[in-house]
Amino acid sequence: MVVKAGWNGRFFEDFVIGDVYKHPLGRTITPTDNAWFTMLTLNTAHPHYDAHYAAHTEFGKPLVNSCFTIALVTGQSVTDVSQNVFANLGWDEVRLPNPVFEGDTIYAESEVLELRESKSRPDVGIVTIKTLGYNQNGVIVITFRRTLMVYRQGKGPGGRHRPEPQKSA
């Protein structure tokens, strides 16, 4: 039997300015996702959890909590961008050009904008990306720039955190 490693994400050396990663997983947002996230974060804005109230707005139905949208789209990018993250440094220029509704399926992609060495941590580099999220119709619902520290090849916890299964006798 040959054991083959799965995708372990990109390290700092793997990023190239201008590369675009089409993140593989779409996600359909359910009313439960929206209600739970809204209540979990104590966001009391009626359009997120009160369908009757939302019916009286110009949208006519519940809006998905914008903080859920940024969390989801960031999460969708992890496999390609931050699987080997040391730390997030920030989200900038967050824009929400179109609403997200319960039942929408969100997809995401990211473009590498900047790369630089870390002056304080030799085991990591600093990556800046622009990510956009869009719905099932291709309508862009969120864009943002994200800056993060990513481990270099062979640095960080790597596979050392994963135990091997015990052999039975």
**For the domain that residue 71 is a member of, what is the CATH number?**
3.10.129.10
Cα–Cα distance measured from residue 35 to residue 43, given in angstroms and rounded to the nearest whole number: 10
- Residue 121: give the domain boundaries: 12-154
For residue 47, is it within any domain?
yes
Angle between helices 31-40 and 66-77 in degrees, nearest 10: 110
Global pTM reads 0.88
- Which residues are bridge partners to 134 per DSSP? 107, 140
- At residue 59, does pLDDT exceed 80? yes
- At residue 4, does pLDDT exceed 80? no
For residue 78, is it within any domain?
yes
Closest CA to 117 of 125, 106, 109: 125
pLDDT digits (tens, 9 = 90+) for 62-113: 999 999 999 999 999 999 999 989 999 999 999 999 999 999 999 999 999 9
For residue 135, is it within any domain?
yes
For residue 7, is it within any domain?
no
φ and ψ at 33, to 5 degrees? -55, -50
For residue 97, is it within any domain?
yes
Cα–Cα distance measured from residue 86 to residue 151, given in angstroms and rounded to the nearest whole number: 6
Q: Which of 9-13, 121-125, 134-138, 153-157 has the lowest mean pLDDT?
A: 153-157
Question: Residue 32: what pLDDT?
Answer: 93
Question: Residue 44: what pLDDT?
Answer: 86
For residue 21, is it within any domain?
yes
Provide the domain count of the chain: 1
For residue 164, is it within any domain?
no
Assign 9 a pLDDT band (cuts: 50, 70, 90): confident
Environment class of 78 (CB within 10 Å of its CB; exposed 0-12, middle 13-18, buried 19+): middle
- At residue 45, does pLDDT exceed 70? yes
pLDDT digits (tens, 9 = 90+) for 133-169: 999 999 999 999 999 999 999 888 766 667 778 887 6
Question: Residue 164: what pLDDT?
Answer: 79
Closest CA to 145 of 118, 116, 119, 111: 111
Cα–Cα distance measured from residue 101 to residue 65, given in angstroms and rounded to the nearest whole number: 9
Question: Residue 7: what pLDDT?
Answer: 73
For residue 43, is it within any domain?
yes
Other C-beta atoms closer than 10 Å to the C-beta of 65 total: 25
> Dihedral sign, CA of 129, 28, 85, 6?
negative
